[in-house]
Amino acid sequence: FRIEKVKDYSVLSKKAAMLIAAEITQREHPVLGLATGSTPIGAYQVLRELYQEGRLDFSAVRTVNLDEYRGLAPEDSHSYRYFMNQELFQHVNIPMENTAVPNGLLEDANKACLEYEALIRKLGGIHLQILGLGHDGHIGFNEPSDSFPRETHCVQLAEETIEANQRFFSSKEEVPKEAYTMGIGTIMKAKKILLMVSGKDKADILQKVLEGPVTPSVPASILQFHPHVTVLADEAALSKCK
Ligand code: F6R
């Protein structure tokens, strides 16, 4: 791990955006793995600004998102496709056809997952994967379990995740119960990983991820075995670490 401690969320967002911008600028055909959730919103905002200032070009960028709720249409304001369009894609010059989010509407779950893996392979793999961290240690929608799922798959969401995501819906009942997510294997194949963590409420889980045993009961702990991970976290999130 390369752990980079920053003061607060604002610095975290700027630094994350710089790492992403460097990756985009250095490669001819950059492939980014993207995440939704609250944590990367600030970084996406900074990337938008860099584009608007004429300092960053997204025209050759390809993106694959980590996950999507099963059953939600791309136009649904709760879908991750909608989130990505709102927060990033429609504000920069990325061709929409270069962006991929698992299709929540495909009936055949197995096929949807195989197709997503095939797409990532076709792109030649992910250069930089952005990750947020769930309170239970999940990355993507890979929830604590007794093994590390390898490829893109369909999951039942943990109760804790449904509760955490309820804030985006008008009631808990509306939160979808299933999702498509890249597997831990898919994530681990990325050349570089950027794990972003902010806030005191993530301090306990981040301590387990960084300093605890590698175990599927804390899915993000597998990142200890990835050769090129940057953990970008603020002081509050790192407050329980050595
Ligand atoms: C989002 C995702 C999730 C989030 C995690 C943290 O695409 O895959 O694993 O990264 O739930 O969410 P926030 O950032 O909202 O705390």
Contacts of residue 240, defined as CB under 8 A and 6 or more positions apart, other chains included, come to 203, 204, 206, 207
Domain ranges of the chain: 2-212
Mutate to test the pocket of ligand 1, among 63, 88, 131 (most ligand atoms within 8 A of CB): 131
User: What architecture is domain 2-212?
Assistant: 3-Layer(aba) Sandwich (3.40)
For residue 108, indicate whether it is catalytic. no
Q: What pTM, to 2 d.p., does this model score?
A: 0.96
Chain segment 96-144, per-residue pLDDT in tens: 999 999 999 998 999 999 999 999 999 999 999 999 999 999 999 999 9
**DSSP 8-state symbol, 158:** P
**DSSP 8-state symbol, 157:** P
Q: What does the pLDDT profile of the chain (242 residues) look like in tens digits?
A: 899 999 999 999 999 999 999 999 999 999 999 999 999 999 999 999 999 999 999 999 999 999 999 999 999 999 999 999 999 999 999 999 999 999 999 989 999 999 999 999 999 999 999 999 999 999 999 999 999 999 999 999 888 889 988 988 898 899 999 999 999 999 999 999 999 999 999 999 999 999 999 999 999 999 999 999 999 999 999 999 99
Residues with CB under 6 A from ligand 1: 35-39, 66-67, 132-134, 138-140
Asked if residues 220 and 137 have their Cβ atoms less than 8 Å apart, the reply is yes
Q: Which position has the token pair 């969320």? A: 9
Dist CA 231 CA 225 (whole Å): 13
Ligand 1 midpoint to CA 96 (Å): 23
The token duo for 56 is 């960053």
Supply the pLDDT for residue 168. 86
The token duo for 175 is 């939160």
Q: What is the ipTM of this complex?
A: 0.99
Ligand 1 midpoint to CA 113 (Å): 20
